[in-house]
């Protein structure tokens, strides 16, 4: 199977090339030329497998230039080596909330306590194998723009991985205290972290510019290096995210929660860069029985507006919220959805992306909008509603969810109120441990607004809710801070030249 660019159908590269490169030279994103299908009997066949074996089945259908041994080696290293605090890296917890059945798909049992681990524990293995396959012989310089969780998960995944260097940019005022602490204390000889003066969009736009800067790419090449990406623009990030949607469906079958062929589920995803929900969309197209994909946003509701009206308009105030990993106005992966919904019309997609870059806005045609609305329900909520939802779920279900997951629960309630669909079993994607956002979660549950230290709030949350503090969070308090650099978005290139050692030559 080969991969095309969303902005140029003439491009055709292998999976290894797409993963090694991260983003296409024309600024487009790599997409598979067709999606494999999984039938009901395939699902039955996966029902009694472990997570790593399920991952192997899905990956095999996409990575046709990898050998079965290579794929097995990658998934075994990622998912069975004790990096997750649970045998099943993606377990669900059942909540009967009022009239509805919710299955909380907890994707935060990995080393950094957010769902990004699901992909970023695997990506370094896929990437090093891809580099060998394309015989690059170069060191991969992984540039990451993060709204908080990707950065830490990428650092943890790539630390001391041979043949790679990793540099993470995060918005200095756009991440939670725990997220910042997690990144600033990162260990490893090949890692760097830099705060930038700006928001996530500034960081992401800056990184995309660096990727496609010819002169900079030439300089890297002369020095035996090449750029790659650990953001969800990289196909190697997105592919592992398809797996857990199949996996939870298989778990629901195995538990008898789903007992009919073709029985549909809803999937609710708290969304920022549109990566996680796009993976759910691909799973649906691959044959997973899904009724609605429910896209939940916070006050940065650019996607809600787009999915409801067909107009994408990034020219709006940027809100810093208590769900910072969703504080995004340019959702990169939407480009992949548009490519798919236009039947692969790369010229049209390239045109819209150009309009977005030039005027901050584009409108899709009615046919595309109709297809969007068939598949998606979309809503948003602000910080007050997010907090009220955390409190309600805690009071009624004795379940503690983080701020991002609470946005999803809130929007799911909106969906039920508008559609009366109380019947369809619904998977709510729980994207982070509440302890990553302990201050906000504690405030939601107890009203606490004290100036106690971040670590005191973590401990308090544990006492109040009777839940254990995850080991990776507990361990942070005693770790020394290694990174405190900051730069402007305009100076990101200089930072890259310094970190790679090119500037000194």
Residues within the interface to ligand PLP (CB under 6 A): 114, 116, 149, 232, 270-276, 325-326, 404, 431-432
Find the shortest distance in angstroms from Cβ 135 to ligand PLP: 32
Query: What is the separation of C-alpha 439 from the centre of its chain, rounded to a whole number of angstroms?
Result: 23
Q: What is the largest CA-CA distance in the chain?
A: 66
Q: Tell me the HSE value of 216 on the side-chain side, using a 13 A CA sphere.
A: 18
Find the shortest distance in angstroms from Cβ 194 to ligand PLP: 19
Query: Is the CB of 16 or the CB of 268 nearer to ligand PLP?
Result: 268
Query: Is the CB of 13 or the CB of 148 nearer to ligand PLP?
Result: 148
199-234 burial code (b ≥16 CB/10 A, e <16): bbbbbbbbbbebbeeeebbebbeebebbbbbbbbbb
How many helices (H) and strands (E) the chain has is answered by: 22, 16
3-state secondary structure string across 96-144: EECCEEEEEEECCCCCCCECHHHHHCCHHHHHHHHHHHCCCCCEEEEEE
According to DSSP, the β-strands at 426-430 and 265-270 are parallel
Find the shortest distance in angstroms from Cβ 503 to ligand PLP: 31
Query: Is the CB of 43 or the CB of 372 nearer to ligand PLP?
Result: 372
Q: Judging by beta carbons within 10 Å of its beta carbon (0-12, 13-18, 19+), is residue 356 exposed, middle or buried?
A: middle
Query: What is the separation of C-alpha 201 from the centre of its chain, rounded to a whole number of angstroms?
Result: 15
Query: Is the CB of 228 or the CB of 241 nearer to ligand PLP?
Result: 241
Are the C-beta atoms of 389 and 399 separated by less than 8 Å? no
496-500 — which CB contacts under 8 Å span 24+ positions?
496/141, 496/143, 496/167, 496/210, 496/216, 497/219, 499/165, 499/167, 499/192, 500/141, 500/165, 500/220, 500/223, 500/225
Find the shortest distance in angstroms from Cβ 178 to ligand PLP: 12
**Quick one: DSSP state of residue 326?**
G
Query: Is the CB of 247 or the CB of 430 nearer to ligand PLP?
Result: 430
Query: Is the CB of 16 or the CB of 441 nearer to ligand PLP?
Result: 441
Angle at 112 between CA 106 and CA 114, to 5 degrees: 35
Please state, as a whole number, how many other Cβ atoms lie within 10 Å of the Cβ of residue 189.
7
Alpha-carbon gap, residue 71 to 31, rounded angstroms: 19
Query: Is the CB of 66 or the CB of 235 nearer to ligand PLP?
Result: 235
Query: Is the CB of 270 or the CB of 470 nearer to ligand PLP?
Result: 270
Catalytic positions, written as ranges: 116
Please report, for residues 116, 261, 271, 500, the alpha-carbon distance to residue 190 in angstroms, rounded to integers and kept in the order given: 20, 49, 30, 10
Helix (H), strand (E) at residue 394: helix 383-397
């Amino acid at each position: 199977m080969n991969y095309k660019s969303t902005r140029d159908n003439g491009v055709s590269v292998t999976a290894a090339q797409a993963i090694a490169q991260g983003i296409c030279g024309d600024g487009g994103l790599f997409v598979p030329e067709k999606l494999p299908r999984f039938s009901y009997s395939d699902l039955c066949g996966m029902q009694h497998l472990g997570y790593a074996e399920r991952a192997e089945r899905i990956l095999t259908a996409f990575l046709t230039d990898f050998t079965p041994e290579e794929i097995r080696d990658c998934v075994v290293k990622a998912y069975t080596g004790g990096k997750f605090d649970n045998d099943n890296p993606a377990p669900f917890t059942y909540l009967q909330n009022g009239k509805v059945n919710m299955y909380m798909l907890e994707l935060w049992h990995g080393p950094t306590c957010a769902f990004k681990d699901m992909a970023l524990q695997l990506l370094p293995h896929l990437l090093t194998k891809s580099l060998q396959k394309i015989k690059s012989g170069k060191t991969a310089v992984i540039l990451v723009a993060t709204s908080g969780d990707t950065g830490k998960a990428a650092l943890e995944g790539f630390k001391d991985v041979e043949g790679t260097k990793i540099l993470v940019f995060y918005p200095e005022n756009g991440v939670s205290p725990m997220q910042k602490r997690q990144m600033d204390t990162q260990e490893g000889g090949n890692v760097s972290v830099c705060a930038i003066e700006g928001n996530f969009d500034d960081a992401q736009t800056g990184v995309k510019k660096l990727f496609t800067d010819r002169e900079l790419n030439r300089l890297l090449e002369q020095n035996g290096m090449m750029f790659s990406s650990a953001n969800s623009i990289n196909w190697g990030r997105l592919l592992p995210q398809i797996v857990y949607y199949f996996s939870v469906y298989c778990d629901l079958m195995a538990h008898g929660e789903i007992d009919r062929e073709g029985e549909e589920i809803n999937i609710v995803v708290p969304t920022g860069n549109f990566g996680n929900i796009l993976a759910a969309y691909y799973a649906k197209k691959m044959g997973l029985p899904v009724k609605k994909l429910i896209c939940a946003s916070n006050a940065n509701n650019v996607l809600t507006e787009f999915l409801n009206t067909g107009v994408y308009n990034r020219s709006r105030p940027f809100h810093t919220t208590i769900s910072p990993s969703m504080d995004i106005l340019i959702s990169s992966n939407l480009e992949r959805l548009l490519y798919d919904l236009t039947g692969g019309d790369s010229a049209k997609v390239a045109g819209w992306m150009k309009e977005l870059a030039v005027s901050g806005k584009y409108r899709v045609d009615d046919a595309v909008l109709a297809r969007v609305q068939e598949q998606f329900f979309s809503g948003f909520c602000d910080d007050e509603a997010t907090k009220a939802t955390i409190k309600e779920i805690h009071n009624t279900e004795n379940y503690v969810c983080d701020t991002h997951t609470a946005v999803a629960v809130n929007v799911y309630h909106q969906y039920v109120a508008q559609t009366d669909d109380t019947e369809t079993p619904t998977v709510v994607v729980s994207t982070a441990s509440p302890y990553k956002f302990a201050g906000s979660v504690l405030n939601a549950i107890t009203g606490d607004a004290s100036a106690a230290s971040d670590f005191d709030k973590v401990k308090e949350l544990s006492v109040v809710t009777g839940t254990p503090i995850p080991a990776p969070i507990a361990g942070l308090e005693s770790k020394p801070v290694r990174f405190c650099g900051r730069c402007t978005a305009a100076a990101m290139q200089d930072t890259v030249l310094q970190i790679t050692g090119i500037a000194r030559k």
